[in-house]
Amino acid sequence: MSTRFNSSNSLYDFVVRDGNGVKGIVDSGLLEVPERYIQPLHEQINKLDSRTHDVPPIDLSKLNGPEHDRVVDQIVSAAETLGFFQVVNHGMPVKLLESLKDAAHSFFTLPPEKKALYLTGLSPSPLIKYGTSFVPEKEKALEWKDYISMVYSNDEDALQYWPNQCKEVALEYLKLASKLVRDLVKILMGNLGVKLDESKIDGLLGMRMVNMNYYPACPNPDLTVGVGRHSDMGAITVLLQDGIGGLYVKVEEENDDTKGEWLEIPPIHGALVINIGDTLQILSNGKYKSAEHRVRTTNTQSRVSVPVFTLPNPTEVIVPLPEVVKKDGLARYREVIFQDYMKNFFGNAHAGKKSLDFATLKSA
Ligand SMILES: O=C(O)CCC(=O)C(=O)O
Ligand SMILES: [Fe+2]
Give the CATH number for residue 224. Answer: 2.60.120.330
How many domains, in total, are found in the chain? Answer: 1
Does residue 2 belong to any structural domain of this protein?
A: no
Q: Which of 33, 35, 87, 44 is nearest to 63 (CA)?
A: 87
**Does 232 sit in the ligand 1 pocket, CB within 6 Å?**
yes
Q: Which of 149, 237, 276, 293 to mutate to test the pocket of ligand 1 (most atoms within 8 A of CB)?
A: 293
Does residue 107 belong to any structural domain of this protein?
A: yes
- Name the residue range of residue 32's domain: 9-37+55-358
**Does 307 sit in the ligand 1 pocket, CB within 6 Å?**
yes
Does residue 49 belong to any structural domain of this protein?
A: no
Does residue 44 belong to any structural domain of this protein?
A: no
Q: Is ipTM over 0.90?
A: yes
**Does 247 sit in the ligand 1 pocket, CB within 6 Å?**
yes
Does residue 363 belong to any structural domain of this protein?
A: no
Of ligand 1's listed atoms, the one at least distance from the Cα of 237 is: 10
Distance CA 214, CA 339 (A): 27
Does residue 337 belong to any structural domain of this protein?
A: yes
Whole-prediction pTM: 0.96
Q: Which of 101, 98, 107 is nearest to 146 (CA)?
A: 107
Distance CA 136, CA 142 (A): 6
What order of strands is seen across the sheet that includes strand 146-151? 58-59, 84-88, 272-276, 236-241, 303-311, 207-215, 146-151, 128-132
Does residue 19 belong to any structural domain of this protein?
A: yes
Secondary structure letter of residue 140 according to DSSP: S
Q: What does the pLDDT profile of the chain (364 residues) look like in tens digits?
A: 445 677 778 999 999 999 999 999 999 998 899 999 999 998 998 887 789 999 999 999 999 999 999 999 999 999 999 999 999 999 999 999 999 999 999 999 999 999 999 999 999 999 999 999 988 998 899 999 999 999 999 999 999 999 999 999 999 999 999 999 999 999 999 999 999 999 999 999 999 999 999 999 999 999 999 999 999 999 999 999 999 999 999 998 665 667 788 999 999 999 999 999 999 999 999 999 999 999 999 998 999 999 999 999 999 999 999 999 999 999 999 999 999 999 998 888 888 888 999 999 987 5
**Does 293 sit in the ligand 1 pocket, CB within 6 Å?**
yes
**Does 279 sit in the ligand 1 pocket, CB within 6 Å?**
no
CA of 326 to the centre of ligand 1 (A): 35
Does residue 335 belong to any structural domain of this protein?
A: yes
**Does 249 sit in the ligand 1 pocket, CB within 6 Å?**
no
CA of 292 to the centre of ligand 1 (A): 11
